[in-house]
Amino acid sequence: MSRPDNAYFVNPAVDAFFVGGASILCFLFFRIAFTGYGATQVSDLSLTLATVFSWIGNWPHFSATNFRLYESRANIRQFRLTAVLIPVLIAIATAACFYYPVSFAPYFVKLFILWSPYHFSAQTLGITLIYARRCELQISPLARRALAGFFFSSFLIAYATTENTLSTGFIYAMSYPNLRLPHWTPHVFEVAMYASLAVLAFEVLPKLQTSKRFPWIFFLPIVTQFLWFVYGAENLSFQLLIPFFHALQYLLIAWSIYMQREGRPGTLFQHLFGSTRWFATNVLVGAFLFFGVPHLLALRGWPLDYAVVIIAAGVSLHHYFVDGVIWKLKQERSQSPLFLNVGWALRGTE
């Protein structure tokens, strides 16, 4: 059997779909199907999809992140602060939201709102750099800084636009304060984004001339980020589904790492069974965190909408801390699973 193509986690089609293709197809669908006044509204179809996707994508990806950190004592010992102390602090802060729903909870939720788009952007930046290495595309320090400038300024355009138009934000029935940024702030970030793109093009495009093949997968997360936060920012139906597309990116990597770690000779049925068990476990754990816990709190008398927001904020903030370290976990193999192809696991040999 020929050596798998290490430019991809699985293959071009699967990687393209999970990394950004699904986002692009969804954007095109809502752009074509909902025009005029309806384009600025959240459609019933988008609401239904967001609910379904939460169960099969958003929530499982939180569980998959925790699985990677807590699956072994060695991982916990490597990052004791994140694995032990941070969950305690987050649990205390989450509990405080139920004791101080007016004076503390809005700021806790605000932290979650602030951190979320940054987290999305940081993950997509990391994926872009991974594909650069997989495609043997040399990224200079200046190009790396330009990439970071593009990813972070692009989300700040959308965020600053929201912050300078509303004094109060809402998530479900929960309100939180906005920063009331000056009206020119989004334009500053827009200039920074396009300047970063120009520097990136200046640094990367000449290197493509010496590449053995065009590394298109490197550019896909960049296009995806632009759709998420700039070009598709006003399509609210599309915006509602972005957390799912973010989850798809992570689940591709998490599943690939799981398969490589479990890599050993076996039948296709055995690999399918193992993958199904891995995914089902993450679905159940995610459902317990985001559905089960809020409903248990509702039985104790708390409004369900309030419990959903607070628990989602608490679990998400813990996830953001964990996600900051799991990429640094020491690997038993000489080569990180981030740079292998899942075919390695399917063959059971290197």
Percentage of the chain modeled with pLDDT above 90: 57
Alpha helices in the chain (DSSP H): 12-16, 22-33, 44-53, 59-70, 73-78, 80, 86-99, 105-134, 141-163, 185-208, 216-226, 236-239, 242-261, 268-287, 293-299, 304-326, 343-347
Q: Determine the Cα–Cα distance for residues 248 and 58; give it in Å rounded to an integer.
A: 8
Closest by CA position to 307, among listed 322, 289, 320: 289
Lookup: tokens for 225: 């980020």
pTM score of the predicted model: 0.89
End-to-end CA separation in angstroms for the chain: 11
Sign of CA dihedral 118, 119, 123, 126: positive
pLDDT recorded at residue 265: 54
pLDDT recorded at residue 267: 62
Q: Determine the Cα–Cα distance for residues 348 and 350; give it in Å rounded to an integer.
A: 7
In contact, 343 and 268? CB cutoff 8 Å: no
The long-range contacts involving 76-81, CB below 8 angstroms and separated by at least 24 positions, are 78/329, 78/330, 79/325, 79/328, 79/329
Q: In which residue ranges of the chain is pLDDT below 50?
A: 1-3, 332-334, 349-350
Scored b (16 or more CB within 10 A) or e, 119-130 reads: bbbbbbbbbbbb
Pairing mode, if any, of strands 174-177 and 168-171?
A: antiparallel
Q: Determine the Cα–Cα distance for residues 154 and 142; give it in Å rounded to an integer.
A: 18
Closest by CA position to 298, among listed 316, 310, 287: 310
Q: Determine the Cα–Cα distance for residues 283 and 37; give it in Å rounded to an integer.
A: 36
Q: Determine the Cα–Cα distance for residues 288 and 52; give it in Å rounded to an integer.
A: 15
CB-count burial class (<10 Å; 0-12, 13-18, 19+) for 184: exposed
State the number of CA atoms in the 13 A half-sphere of 139 facing the CB: 21
Lookup: tokens for 40: 């600025």
pLDDT recorded at residue 332: 47
Hey, is 4 helix, strand or coil? coil
pLDDT recorded at residue 268: 67
